[in-house]
Amino acid sequence: MKTITLHTRIDPDQLYDHIQQKLNPLFWEQRQQRIVFQVVKNGDGVDILQEKMYDGALFHLDVKGLQLLITRNEHHVDDVNSLTIESILNSLFDDLTDDIRGVDLVTEG
């Protein structure tokens, strides 16, 4: 799990909307692959899935105050699509905070 400090509280609905709007277009731009990922609201979190290619969620993101907890599907850690999504998510997290400090990686493991 990766823990990121956002320095600005974000609303889970705002996180969902932002990822829903941006993920697929940015993925298509970076990978030149027309793979469609589903972004699903899950309580105070967001799941990213592609059910035709992967069993279960590739990522689960959970908002906990000023922290964002990110769980990757352990079976697809080295998958190029998963790595591309992780890179895109990192840039989207910066968009969500209005603090000049941006975001900080707290722990990964």
In angstroms, the CA 46 to CA 16 distance is: 6
Q: What is the pTM of this model?
A: 0.85
Q: What is the model's pLDDT at position 97?
A: 60
- Whether 56 and 49 have beta carbons less than 8 Å apart is answered as yes
Residue 101: its H or E element: none
Nearest Cα to 11, choosing from 81, 73, 64?
64
pLDDT along the chain (109 residues), means of 10: 78 92 96 94 93 93 87 84 90 65 49
- Residue given tokens 């998958």 in the structure block: 79
Calculate the alpha carbon distances from 61 to 22, 32, 100 in Å. Answer: 15, 25, 22
Q: What is the model's pLDDT at position 98?
A: 56
